[in-house]
Structure 1
Amino acid sequence: MKIPFDVTFHPSWWYKHAGVSFKREFFTDPEYRIEADIQMRKVLHEKFGDFGLGEKKPQPRPLLGSDLIASGFLHSEIMGCEVRYQEENPPEVICTNLSDEAVMNLRLPELEKIELWKNIEEQGKYLYEKFGFVETHMNLMGIQNIAMDLRGQNLLMDYYLNPELAHHLLGLCTQLSIAIGRWFKRYSNNLSAGVTAIVKQTVPDMYLTSNCTVEMISLDTYNTFLAEYDQLLAEAFGSFGIHHCGQTMEHVVEGYKNIKNLKFAEVGAFSDIGYVRKHLPDIHLNLRYSPVKLKDVQGDELYQEIHRMIELGKPFNLLSISCVGIDSLVKDEQVRNFLSCCKNISPLV
């Protein structure tokens, strides 16, 4: 059985190897992004085409966002955060550190009055009129991720000292996420490749939330504050997935397993895969290999690690593996080693 595998590169890698800049134009100008995407897929094919990546003669794609990078910023910028766009990095959200009063006065924004959102709508209309369909690959972010962009580390104290404020903020972030997700669904049922591209090969029609910052909280805190909002997302979109890029997903998996409609979970590098699989026996798991470790790991060690990950994650029909965030310091040879290990292990299982 062939196990799906994939790699995703950091903007610094694309800037170095494809000459693509990730300033604001990449996210707001569809024609610039389409041309950049063509160049990116050409480079992928030139370097890794023998592993099925990229295309020799790529055709234009009607993209909102990109499935070739990970870049969560949209929801936070709509809610008022400053975002810095850079040539070699994904958009950087600047935390607003809202006061107690500012949070309690916060209301759901009227999307039609937000310039950034008006640009997204205009892009969607333009792409649909030109191509007849749209691929929506904006990063869907996650509820606590957005809330922390607005409130900062004080949100973690709010869980103990001001739960009413925490729920108010988390609820607003959930309402916004549902509204944005439903708008994307007007164009496509495949919403989540901007979170992790492997979903295109595995569970393409689900809504995948980014629970990056859940690594910072306990299982009790997740169950008390965040589980209900993940459940609202799951109910709103029917088929649901959780991206947990932290290295100890096992510490909250007993909360994740109770989310109804859960179909997919992304397991952060260094997590206890066996423990996660025990609690999610019927869920597709995408195992993440560390892009930092990939920089220096030797071939034999890499093969053994990937083989062990796959063994712990079986059944194999509910399994995939990827390495996401590979930057410009990682040599092509190391990327090829990873792809080769994944390709050569898969037929053995």
Structure 2
Amino acid sequence: MKSSTTQLISYIAPGAPATRRPATGAEPYVRPEVGFTPRWFHDSLGVDFSERWHADPAHRRDAISAMAHELRRRFPRHGIGGVADADHPVDLLTGAFGASAVPAIYGVPIRYAADLWPACEPEHLTAEQTERLEPPDLDVNPFFRDLMAQAEWIAGRVGRIEGYVSWQGVLNTAYRLRGEAVFTDMAMAPKRAEHLFRCVATTMVDAMRRLYAVQRDSGVDVWHVTVSNCLVNLVSPRQYRDLLLPFDRWIAWGRPIGIHNCAWTADPYVEHYATIPGVAYIDMGMDSDIAAARDAFPDARRAVMYPPTDVASKSREETGRDVARIADHYGPCDIVFADIEAGVEDARVTELFDLCEHVSHEHDARRSQGRRRR
């Protein structure tokens, strides 16, 4: 079933990087989304995020169950991770292979670690290899076939293939394939860069289409797309407009899209993002002009990426002022408290929820008073 709203919200499953999922329409004015690094779970429970966690859905199911129980034990008032039944988790897909799925389709080896998300080995394409690159045939691609086999296993054991693979974004994946040379290509050999971007975008859309089809057959209708533009601040607004925006628009065509801008400011790119049809979610860093972003995306669920360093170091009063400012200039919105490390006290995490709840109640009260005056 499709959500009753076209908005998307931030979603951090246990042990997974942040992604997006459909909103319910009942979100609070300021909604916190809290997530922890693999090291947090490794230090707390001994969860091993090496290759087996990503390649074996049965093993991952048991680990997710253990992580969900730990989150419920330590934060009983808050549904961190979104696991409704810790004994029987249904989303066994989100987090698998981290941000490395599309590079792995292109043959890039994945480097695993017990307490980290997977990373791509730096085996970068040469200029000649880039110019000859073609999108892989997913019917015979070993990595993609293994991923689809996981989906089939989940369907057989759980009945429904819930969750999301991180397909990342065009520039993110191009960087993992080509390395820093992709930025030189954009300036000096734009046709080469454009060819690489087209290959990546084609593979993203092909892989999404195939996975969404088997999910739909299992009763899960994944309709939205999400793109991660973590590296966009390394290119100029003109380069984004001319070389990357056309692919973001193509990926989004006809579907709600979530845009993960990630970096400290989205300001140089907001006017271009606003031309993408169906923006249902957008996030950005704390230094962005969030009031202008609210005007640019009045119908999207907006989110701020709150720095994990600020979670670790700021006082309650300082964070409270941040939350109030975000609510006043950007709400209704999410605040994404991602990548919380081991060493941050549980009381501090609970404090984040309390601050968001307090500000949400204040805004609800103001709206109620305004309606009574009318």
Q: Normalising by the residue count of structure 1, what TM-score does the alignment of the two structures yield?
A: 0.89
Matched, 1:222 2:249: no
Aligned ranges for residues 290-329 of structure 1 at < 5 Å? 290-314=307-331, 316=332, 319-329=333-343
Matches within 5 A, 1:1-349: 2-53=29-80, 58-66=86-94, 71-188=98-215, 205-235=223-253, 238-314=255-331, 316=332, 319-349=333-363
8 A Cα contact 1:95 1:148, kept in partner? no
* Separation in 2, partners of 1:337, 1:182: 41
Q: Gaps spanning 5+ residues in structure 1: where? A: 190-203
Contact 2:61/2:92 (<8 A) preserved: no
Is the CA contact 2:168–2:228 (under 8 Å) kept in the aligned structure 1? yes
State how far apart, in whole Å, the 2-side matches of 1:129 and 1:77 are: 25
Distance 1:246 1:16 in 2: 28
| Corresponding position of 1:195 | none
Q: Alpha-carbon deviation of 1:101?
A: 0.4
Contact 1:42 1:57 in 2 (8 A): no
Decide whether the 8 Å contact of 1:64 with 1:138 is kept in 2: no
Given residue 65 of structure 1, which amino acid in structure 2 is its aligned partner? L
Q: CA deviation at 1:142?
A: 0.7
Q: Is the 8 A contact 1:234 1:240 kept in 2?
A: yes
Q: Which amino acid aligns with 1:148?
A: Y
Q: Distance in 2 between matches of 1:250 and 1:161?
A: 25
Aligned equivalents of 2:287, 2:347: Cα separation in 1: 23
The question of whether the paired residues in 2 share the 8 Å contact of 1:65 and 1:138 is answered with yes
What is the distance in 2 between the residues matched to 1:274 and 1:167? 33
Question: Once superposed, what is the RMSD of the aligned Cα atoms?
Answer: 1.9
Cα pair 1:239 1:261 within 8 Å, conserved: yes
- What secondary structure sits across from 1:97 in the alignment? coil
Length, aligned pairs only? 330
Partner SS for 1:77:
helix
Partner of 2:368: none
Cα distance in 1 for partners of 2:187, 2:33 equals 40
Q: Does the C-alpha gap of structure 1 residues 42 and 70 become closer, same or farther in structure 2, counting only changes over 3 Å?
A: farther
- How does the TM-score come out when normalised to structure 2? 0.83
Larger mean CA deviation between 31-40 and 339-348 belongs to 339-348
Distance change in 2, residues 1:187/1:44 (3 Å): farther
Letter matched to residue 131 of structure 2:
M
In 2, Cα distance between equivalents of 1:136 and 1:161: 40
Distance 1:31 1:259 in 2: 38
Q: Which amino acid aligns with 2:87?
A: Q
Distance in 1 (CA, whole Å) between partners of 2:182 and 2:280 is 29
